């Protein structure tokens, strides 16, 4: 056991911090602490330019292999990057779905042509992605996909019909990766395909969904005869589920670790308000702040522990990442309640109308989605019990 980063990693930390300090200025100054959860709709144009600024510094895809334009960072360095990124208050990434999900999936399963067609735009921060998984009838039961992809022999292309929902950043995205049913007679996770679909075409329509925050980060995406080139299916027709699930492991993996610094920023702001308005003198509040702090430490320690076992070749990052989702989501939801309680009656006052929430108010509302998206707490417990503990599976009929 050695609870510190190597000298080399500390130097890397310094490099990241310095770059951010020198570049998160000027027109990007106002993006500090913006564009995160609950705030993803803010400053899209400026954040697109920021993504390209990051690209110029070589920071968009730090964990990707160098041959694909990445920085080839170790997992430790990736965590350091995310930590410093959050510490500097750098904005939520409009490119995170491409850099964190689409790209790694294409690297793992894509053809040479797909790699050369799609990876450079992600690395350069010029092409943005969104994720076409959930449907009105396919939420927790993600395999219950109804969107269909039919191969048009004459045109040598796929024709896609159906509807996706809860799609973040769909209005900004250039491409969407879509799970669709390639075998019309199939059910559940069999007979699916994983498609890379261009958003700017007549067969794709995006409609915003207004959320309890008053904003519309999520969207519905309608595919009505949308076209997808024959070469833009990842894996074989019928292998879509395997590809889609591997992608979810990326989602539950290293990219969530740096969020602890963002959590720390939020907790610090809450503690600051508690000290200022006297809530910190309330023993009930003090206990909850202490609990939040110690649990954040648990997440931090556990992140380090995961990294270590990864290094030792145990390869258990994904196993432990499995239990991380429910822990951070529940913690974050509680933090939202704590924020409102610390602010007391004044928590009810909007920053300004119409329905402009302060950062902590947006947090308090947005965290309600944390225990739902990416697998609800209930689904997470099933996964932990069934995959982690080997308990009997529930019987599902369809």
Interface residues with another protein (CB under 8 A)?
Answer: 134, 137, 139-141, 144, 165-166, 209-212, 214, 218, 279, 282-285, 333, 337, 340-341, 344-350, 352-357, 361, 365, 368-369, 371-373, 376-378, 381-382, 394, 396-398
Closest approach of another protein to the CB of residue 86, in Å:
24
In 3D space, the residue among 294, 273, 248 whose CA is nearest the CA of residue 387 turns out to be 248
Nearer to another protein, 117 or 381 (CB): 381
Residue number with CB closer to another protein (78 or 134):
134
- Residue 251 annotated to the active site: yes
CB of 46 vs another protein, minimal distance in Å? 26
| Rg of the chain on CA atoms, in Å | 21
Give the C-alpha separation, 25 to 373, whole Å.
33
Nearer to another protein, 184 or 396 (CB): 396
Q: Cβ closer to another protein: 205 or 334?
A: 334
Report the residue number, 75 or 379, with the smaller CB distance to another protein.
379
Which tokens hold the place of 181? Answer: 């049913």
Terminal Cα distance for the chain, rounded: 49
The DSSP symbol for 267 reads H
Comparing CB distances to another protein, the nearer of 187 and 314 is 187
Nearer to another protein, 64 or 166 (CB): 166
What is the residue-wise DSSP string for 181-202? ESSTT--TTSSEEEEEEESSST
Do 42 and 216 form a contact (C-beta atoms < 8 A)?
Answer: no
Shortest spacing between CB 57 and another protein, in angstroms? 35
Cβ(120)–Cβ(261) under 8 Å? no
Judge contact between 68 and 115, C-beta under 8 A: yes
Residue 339 CB neighbour total at 10 angstroms: 24
What is the rounded CA–CA span in Å between residue 308 and residue 297?
17
**Collapsing DSSP states into helix, strand and coil, what is residue 269?**
helix
The residue annotated as part of the active site, out of 251, 269, 295, 394, is 251
Contact 348, 283 (CB under 8 A): no
Cα separation, 294 vs 249, in Å, equals 27
CB of 263 to another protein, least distance (A): 19
CB atoms within 10 A of CB 297: 12
C-alpha 49/C-alpha 163 separation (Å) is: 30
Contact assessment for residue 171 and residue 185, using Cβ atoms and an 8 Å cutoff: no
Q: Please provide residue 369's backbone torsions phi and psi, each rounded to the nearest 5 degrees.
A: -85, -20
Residue 121 C-beta: closest distance to another protein, Å: 29
- Tell the smallest beta-carbon distance from residue 344 to another protein (Å): 5
CB of 396 to another protein, least distance (A): 4
Q: Residue 130: which residues within 8 A CB-CB, separation 6 or more?
A: 97, 167, 168, 169, 170, 172, 173, 175, 176, 177, 199, 221
Q: C-beta of 34: minimal distance to another protein in Å?
A: 20
Residue closer to another protein, measured from CB, 278 or 311: 278
Catalytic residues: 251
């Amino acid at each position: 056991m050695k609870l510190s980063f190597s000298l080399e990693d500390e130097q890397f930390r310094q490099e990241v911090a310095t770059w951010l300090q020198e570049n998160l200025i000027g027109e990007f100054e106002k993006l500090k602490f913006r564009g995160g959860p609950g705030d993803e709709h803010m400053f899209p144009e400026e954040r697109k330019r920021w993504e390209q600024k990051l690209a110029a510094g070589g920071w968009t895809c730090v964990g990707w292999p160098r041959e694909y334009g990445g920085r080839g960072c170790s997992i430790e360095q990736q965590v350091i990057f995310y930590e410093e990124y959050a510490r500097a208050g750098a904005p939520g990434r409009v490119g995170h779905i491409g850099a964190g999900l689409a790209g790694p999936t294409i690297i793992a399963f894509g053809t040479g042509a797909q790699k050369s067609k799609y990876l450079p735009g992600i690395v350069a921060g010029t092409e943005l992605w969104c994720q076409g998984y959930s449907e009105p009838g396919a939420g927790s039961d993600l395999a219950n996909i109804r969107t269909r992809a039919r191969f048009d022999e004459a045109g040598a292309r796929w024709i896609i019909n159906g509807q996706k929902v809860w799609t973040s950043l769909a209005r900004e995205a250039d491409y969407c990766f879509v799970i669709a049913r390639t075998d019309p007679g199939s059910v559940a996770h069999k007979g699916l395909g994983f498609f890379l679909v261009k958003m700017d075409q007549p067969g794709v329509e995006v409609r915003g969904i207004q959320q309890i925050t008053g904003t519309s980060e999520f969207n519905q995406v309608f595919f009505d005869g949308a076209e997808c080139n024959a070469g833009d299916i990842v894996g074989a027709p019928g292998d879509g589920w395997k590809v889609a699930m591997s992608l979810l492991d990326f989602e539950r993996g290293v990219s969530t670790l740096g969020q602890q610094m963002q959590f720390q920023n939020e907790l610090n702001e809450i503690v600051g308000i508690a000290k200022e308005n006297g809530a910190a003198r309330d023993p009930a509040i003090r206990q909850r702040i202490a609990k939040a702090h110690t649990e954040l430490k648990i997440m931090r320690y556990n992140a380090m522990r995961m990294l270590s076992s990864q290094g030792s070749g145990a390869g258990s990052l994904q196993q432990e990442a499995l239990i991380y989702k429910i822990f951070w989501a529940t913690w974050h939801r509680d933090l939202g309640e704590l924020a409102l309680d610390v602010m007391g009656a004044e928590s009810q006052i909007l920053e300004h109308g119409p329905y402009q929430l302060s950062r902590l108010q947006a947090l308090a509302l947005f965290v309600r989605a944390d225990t739902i998206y990416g697998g609800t707490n209930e689904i997470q417990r099933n996964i932990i019990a069934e995959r982690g503990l080997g308990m009997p599976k529930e019987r599902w009929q369809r």
